[in-house]
Structure formats: C-alpha cells, structure tokens
Structure 1
C-alpha cells in the first residue's frame, strides 16, 4: 500500500459521513472574515529563469466560492517546454479573520488528496491563532482534484480494484492483482499520456513557486502534512532561498526506497493496531476483542481470514471483501478519536454485518453512495507515486519478501509485501531526474514526528530531520497520523509561535 493520508483530512471526511449517519454530533463555525489587501513583496515576481517569466507575477482572480474564495493558477505542463501546453490549478483561500500577517500554503498529502478541501477544512485543521492572522491557501496539485485530474480507470474498474484481495492466496487472485496494475498504468496513458508523464512531485514543487509568486510573497510559508512533507522538502531543495517558515508534519523519509517505505508502513500500522487493541483491553470492561493484546490481534486476524474465505454483505448490493475490510480497519487508525468507530465496525462485522467497515473503506477511497467517487485521489495517488518511483518487483519475488514483512506486521505484512508490485504496470515516464534532498541554504524547517503514527512512522521524521540541513525536530508522544492540532498544546504552541512569530522550537523538543 503506497497511499498516505493526512489525519485531519480523514477526520474531516469521517466527521461528515459519521455526522450524517448519526454517529457523531457536528457543528459549523462561520465567523466573519476580513479581506485585507496584500501588495506584492519586492522580488516576488522574479522568475527562476527568463523562459518562465510569463508564469510569474500572475494576478489571481479570487472569486467567492461558498464561504471562501477560489481562483485558478496557470502553469506549464512541462517545465522544460514552458512555451507548450499549459494547465490550470485549482486554488482555495480562507482569508485571515483579523489582522492579516501573511499567507500559509498548505498541502494534506496523499499524494492525491485535494489541497482545496484541506484549506476548506481549515477551521478543523488549524488553531485559532493561525486562522486569525494567516490566509490559508490550498491548491489541488497537478493531476488531482479540480486541477486536470488523471483518470486511469472507470468507476466500476476502480471499485473492482479496491475490492481485490491485497494479499492473494491463489493463482487466480495473483493474476487479478497483476492485471489490475497493468490496466491502471495503461489507463492513465490512454486517457492523457502527456499529463500522466507530468504529475511528478518535482513538477508540483515548481508549481508551488509559481503560486508563491502569484500570492505576492518573496518567500513561501508552508504547512505540509504526510506526503506534503516530501513535497515541502523537494521545494526546499529546488528553491532554498525562497523557503520562509516551513512546517513538515507527519514526515516522510525522502531517501527511503519503495521497499523500505512499505516495510516502514507495515510496522507503523501494526504498532497503531496494537495500541488500539491495548487501549480496548486496558480501558474497557470485557473488551470484545479479548483479554490480551495478542488475543485481540488474533481475533482481528481470524476475522480477516474468514472474510477472505466468505465475503460479507454490505447492505447496498456489494460484498465486503478482505480488501475493503483492510481499508475499513486502517482508516480509523489515522485518528485516535475514531478508535470507538473502529470498535463499532468490528463488532458488527464479527456479527456478520460488514456495512460499517465498507463505509469506512468508502471514506478512505472517496467513494460516494451512488457508486461514483468524489475525487480522483485513489487514482492520483498511484499515478504520482509510480511516476516518482516506478520500482516494482515481479510477483514471483514476493514470496522472498514475506518473512521480513510478516515479522514487521503479523496482521498486515502480506498486504504490504504484495504492494511492492503496485507499479508493475507503470507506462508513463517522468522527464524529471531524481534529486538528492538536503535543503542546503534554506531557513529553519520544523519537522514533526508522532511516536505511534501508523502511516508515517516516527523514524521517518527522524530521518528527514537528519537529511535537511536546517531542520529542527519536534516529537509528539502519541497516537494517530500527524502531530499538530491533535490535542497536544506543546506541539501546537511550537508550531504557531514559529509560523506567526518566527520563533524556532528548541532542537529535540519532545511533547
């Protein structure tokens, strides 16, 4: 599994769905906002090369967009051929509520998650001090959301792919998994071959510099979560002199190979699942999973084996497979506050009703009740990841990987081992050469890691902090994906003081 989501987006999506289902209460805060003018800063219009001059210093036409403002940004599809095809990126701005001190560009990760939705959820994602004084600006990276989205599969094909057994047990299931990878790669190119070859992280980082200029900023202030940390680190390598105040939360190890990344996530999700089960055993009378952590993990494994052999009914005509059960289980692990929802879903599944797990899987994959998808994040995730790194192993080699992955994650190890074939069908080739990232010359960059983060293990934050010359590591001791605005005042104070006042946290701060 290569997909990485940011916790607050999962929280926002889960919240909307669960409020509608009557499982959670909801409220909306719509304070009055001011729209102060922001004259361009000196040097903001200067392009990195004369060939790109037409794209720098753009005047964004902000228009009312619900409660926020929306605009479009024009960038070249291919930065090596800026005179060729251009594309437009979707932007959304949440204006500062009081005295405006600047603009904060944000990215929620994925890759593939729409940044406009992240900005629209700013009231849930960011603290009041930031909302009072910073415009929060989200953008849908190229190939995602409303920014010329890649389209690699039909809705029915994507549905079928999600339902596949991610750890095939026989030749037919293995063949189906391989065929799905091949069909995906071909589908991306068949729809728009040029776009499929130009959705790399490096090109999106270049887009961010065009956005910085359009916002009239000489330096970019940025908050990136999950994969957004990889994007931020890439920007720091390409434009170190343009780095303003950067926070990289739920950090990705940008030096990790595909195998190392999958192995790290296998450990991360196992650690998170153990923490969830331990919480049930320690705090709930007669935990429905059992009397010990090992017993609880065994019960979940038993369920996965049962649903693999005999899928459950979802209640809408679909079957709850082992694949959808996997997504349904891991989704609430991103946010500790949703562990009780996971308990509800598992209890029902153990009783033969897989509807709640299916609903959680649908939230993970952005599937709507009508059978369509609210965004293309599942497709964009693979298109971007596999363009950045098309590394894949042949199916016959997976058997050699299983021991290491099962040791890392007895529950999910097989799934992550088999995900090493994900990019086997990649057809599009990037025109960007890989870069080594150290961000030399950049201003201080705050890197945040959470000790029991399932999707971006804490070790990745340590690694990124070591790789970036100017990084300062902040550690959150806790559960869930990402550390800011997750109930830890120490982390929140450090982030907000840095973004608003420029106060760099103490190196090695542990919260």
Structure 2
C-alpha cells in the first residue's frame, strides 16, 4: 500500500476522473552534441491520454474554441551525462488569451503526487486558471517517470488489482510477512521493467528538467505554480536556480524539513483532523446526519466498519470486494476536498448496508484505476520518485515500535500510514537525502499558501517552507479552510492575492489571512 507521500495531491488528478500515443522512452540517437536548450518544440493538437496518463479522450477545447497543444521536450536521461541518452518529456499548453503586448511568459504548473500527469490534469482544471491565462501561456508536463515521460512501469493491471486488495494494516506475523513479500514483489517488478529509469527520477532531476523547459519556452525566469508535492519540486528548483525564479506560488505546502517518518506522522494527524471536521460538519446541520448522531458516533461507526471489513469484506465493484484497506483509502480520498464529503457520506451509508461500490470507486480514484480496469502509472511513479528522494529505509520492527505514536495521532489512519513506510524497503536505488534542500538565497519572492484544514500537507508545513526558503524569499498567506490546497477552493481572498502576484507582481503582506 502507499507510502504516505502518495497521499499528496494525487486526489486532484484522480477526482477529475471521478467527477466529471506511444509512450516516450529512453533514446540513444544523434543528439550527443546537440544543445538541448536550443531545441524547438513542435506544438500540435494533443493525442488522447495514454494508459499511463490515465486514459480517456482528448482534452476539450478551451473557452472560445481554442485547442490545447502538446509537444515533447528532449532532456538528458542522466543529468550527470548531459550529452548522453535522452528521454522525451510530454508537455501541454494553452496559449495566452489576452493582449499579446501584455503577455508575461509561460506559467508552469505541477499538480503534485509525485506521479501525477500534468498533461491530463491541467485541462481538467483549466477553467480555474482562466484569469491567469490572460497574461500567461498555461503550461504543464508529465515529469520524468510519469505518464508519457519515460514512465516507470512495475506490475500489470491484474497484479495491481491484487496489490491493492492486500491487507495493508497487518495484525499478526503472517499478515506482516505477506505485506513485506508483496512489497518485495512489487519493487522487484519495478526494477525489472524500469531499471534504466529508476536512478533518474529524483526531484532534483525534475527541477533541472524545468530549467531546460524554461529556456526552451523562451523565458528569462521560471514563473511557476506548484501544488502539494509541486511545492517541494518548486523549492528544490529555487535552491538549484535561485536567480531564475520569477513569480512563483506554492499551494498545499509540503514541509521540507521532515523525513518520511515525520511526514507520515504529520499526515496521520492531518487526515484525522479532516475526519474530525467532516464528522462535526455532518452532525451540526439542521437535518439528521445519516452516518451518526454525534461527531464521536460518526467516527466510532467508521472504526467499527473498518474493523468488520478486516475479517469480512463486502461486495465492492464486481468481482472485487471492499476490504478494510480499500475502505480506508477511499475515506482518505474523500477528505481531500470539502466538496467530496457528500460522497463520503453516501459511501458510508451504502457500506453500512453492505454495498461497498462508492468507497471502492473513491479508492480506485486514488490509485489511478479507470472504470475499464486499467491503471495509470501514478502508483509506480509515486513510489519510484519517493524512494529515489528519501534516504530512510524502514523495517517491520521499526514500524511496530512506532505504531502507538501513530495510533495516538490518528486512531483511524495511524496503522495505514505507519505501515506505508515499508514501501521503499529493498528498493533498487538508494535514496538521496533525509529531506530536500530548498534554501534559496537570492530568489525572487515566493508566495507560500497554507490551509489550516489541509489533511495531506498539514498547515504547519507552510511556515516551515517559508523559514527554509530563507529570509526575504518566502511570503506566507494563511487560508482558514478545509481540503487540500487553497486556490481551487474558489476563496476570493486567496485568488485575489495569488492573481495579484502572478499577474501584477503585487506581493501580499506577509501573514495575510483569508477565511
């Protein structure tokens, strides 16, 4: 099951599918002496997303009838060997809609994961950024290892169905052995099918890709909008290329000072807070809450459901059953946005009546599984990037020692997130560091937006990011809200502050609070 960082913004991508080409590989060609920064991008109409990107149809036209355009950026496979083999990075853009004389440049988005396809996500949320498009070309991409950009490949669809049906919160020695064996099998498949790519998918590699992208797009500075893990990528970019940072916004901020254990524990607290807020909201309304009489009753009934599912799953989406793990995953998915709470209520009502379809649909959405049973590569890419980045490797004994602390942080999600820490055990590539370096002396101001009710990237991470970026760089803005991130909440105060900076260069006062 997922290591905790997988719960970073993947719901943004997955929920677009819920609610609403040939894969580029490694090459060994005639580009040994080519200056990749001088390449020209061949923009053309976008193909339908690949299976690795999540499948589906071509992106719908933009308001006014303009079409999305796609291109492939050629980048070094190994940045330590810039004249060696290359890979293709999939890009998408919507050209600026306003007066050409007022165009600022390109605004590059990363929506998180890690492992989310920007090529499929940007069109899904494109209307949310219409105002920004008046002065920018909106650009996103599949980072290396993701979607159509030299995708990491691990297990096939049938194997992944079994992988996500396993018990990710083992209760005894036999279940612990099975979990570790399944993890070992999955990781071995990644090494077998993607050996050449695995050492090259670190966040530092993606940051170097973005600087090459900036040059090829013709921008003197990188204007950037990073969400969730995208804030970590943006922070690493700012560290490596501080003088090339233009106007940048970090939303749904990853704490760059934490190692993977600390991040997991923080997420346990964050998702528990979101569940508490859901329960309070449901039971505070005038009409009866259909899943409990009091906030505590709501949580007690969910805990009982999960305990019962551990020994006796219920029918989910045929032929699969809703297991304890799938239900927990589905509940976590629904806590990413207050807009999804109604689906959680509906899913719980159904599950109490023995029908697990909605909770399983939510879980499938988190895992990148489409209705036809095909998976995107978000799980494979997420694990590969996290394991390449994160130095710690945790054992079963270590997790068992930490369980009391995790359970204290979250009775519901503690075990789930604690056992996720074994995902990188036995990984083929050593992790780079305990945590990323985002110190960025000399960078232009970066607007850092924290949400007090964020389950996946707890609010405290925003202040930690501001401090780590260094004096005079990070500017903190607080949103008193619910869900993961702030800009897409449609809060007028947040959007006004972000738009004011990106469009007009107006930096909000540090410590601004929106509610």
Same fold, TM exceeding 0.5? yes
Residues 310, 494 of structure 1: alpha-carbon distance in 2 compared, 3 angstrom cutoff: same
Q: Which runs of 5+ in 1 are unaligned?
A: 17-50
Structure 2 Cα separation of the partners of residues 285 and 144 of structure 1? 44
Aligned to 2:484: 481
Structure 1 Cα separation of the partners of residues 156 and 417 of structure 2? 25
Residues 409, 310 of structure 1: alpha-carbon distance in 2 compared, 3 angstrom cutoff: same
Q: Which of 267, 270, 276 is 2:269 aligned to?
A: 267
Structure 2 Cα separation of the partners of residues 165 and 269 of structure 1? 20
Tell me, yes or no, if structure 1 residue 62 matches structure 2 residue 43.
yes
Aligned to 1:38: none
Secondary structure of the 1:334 match is coil
Structure 2 Cα separation of the partners of residues 97 and 199 of structure 1? 34
Q: For the Cα contact (< 8 Å) 1:251–1:448, is it kept in 2?
A: yes
Structure 2 Cα separation of the partners of residues 352 and 122 of structure 1? 34
Q: For the Cα contact (< 8 Å) 1:252–1:460, is it kept in 2?
A: yes
Tell me, yes or no, if structure 1 residue 85 matches structure 2 residue 85.
yes
Aligned to 2:50: none
Residues 54, 63 of structure 1: alpha-carbon distance in 2 compared, 3 angstrom cutoff: same
Structure 2 Cα separation of the partners of residues 120 and 482 of structure 1? 18
Aligned to 1:387: 388
Q: Which of 242, 251, 260 is 1:249 aligned to?
A: 251
Aligned to 2:109: 106
Structure 2 Cα separation of the partners of residues 425 and 156 of structure 1? 23
Alignment of 1:379-458 (within 5 A): 379-429=380-430, 436-458=437-459
Structure 1 Cα separation of the partners of residues 33 and 385 of structure 2? 24
Deviations 1:430-488 (A, max 9, x none): 68997632111100000111001010000111111111120000110000000113121
Structure 1 Cα separation of the partners of residues 211 and 301 of structure 2? 50
Structure 2 Cα separation of the partners of residues 388 and 399 of structure 1? 24
Q: For the Cα contact (< 8 Å) 2:403–2:418, is it kept in 1?
A: yes
CA drift of 1:291 comes to: 2.2
CA drift of 1:417 comes to: 1.4
Deviations 1:338-362 (A, max 9, x none): 1111111110011000011111111
Q: Which of 163, 171, 174 is 1:172 aligned to?
A: 174
Which stretch shows the higher mean deviation, 54-63 or 67-76? Answer: 54-63
Q: Which of 270, 278, 282 is 1:276 aligned to?
A: 278
Alignment of 1:233-382 (within 5 A): 233-373=235-375, 375-382=376-383
Tell me, yes or no, if structure 1 residue 491 matches structure 2 residue 494.
yes
Secondary structure of the 2:195 match is helix
Q: For the Cα contact (< 8 Å) 1:57–1:216, is it kept in 2?
A: no
Aligned to 1:14: 18
Structure 1 Cα separation of the partners of residues 214 and 244 of structure 2? 9
Secondary structure of the 2:400 match is helix
Secondary structure of the 1:340 match is helix
Deviations 1:392-437 (A, max 9, x none): 2211222210111111111111111111212112112368997632
Q: For the Cα contact (< 8 Å) 1:94–1:119, is it kept in 2?
A: no
Which stretch shows the higher mean deviation, 385-394 or 193-202? Answer: 385-394
Q: How many residues are paired up?
A: 475
Structure 2 Cα separation of the partners of residues 429 and 87 of structure 1? 22
Structure 2 Cα separation of the partners of residues 356 and 6 of structure 1? 18
Secondary structure of the 2:489 match is coil
Provide TM-score, normalisation by structure 1. Answer: 0.90
Structure 2 Cα separation of the partners of residues 418 and 371 of structure 1? 26
Secondary structure of the 1:2 match is helix
Aligned to 2:94: 94
Residues 175, 369 of structure 1: alpha-carbon distance in 2 compared, 3 angstrom cutoff: same
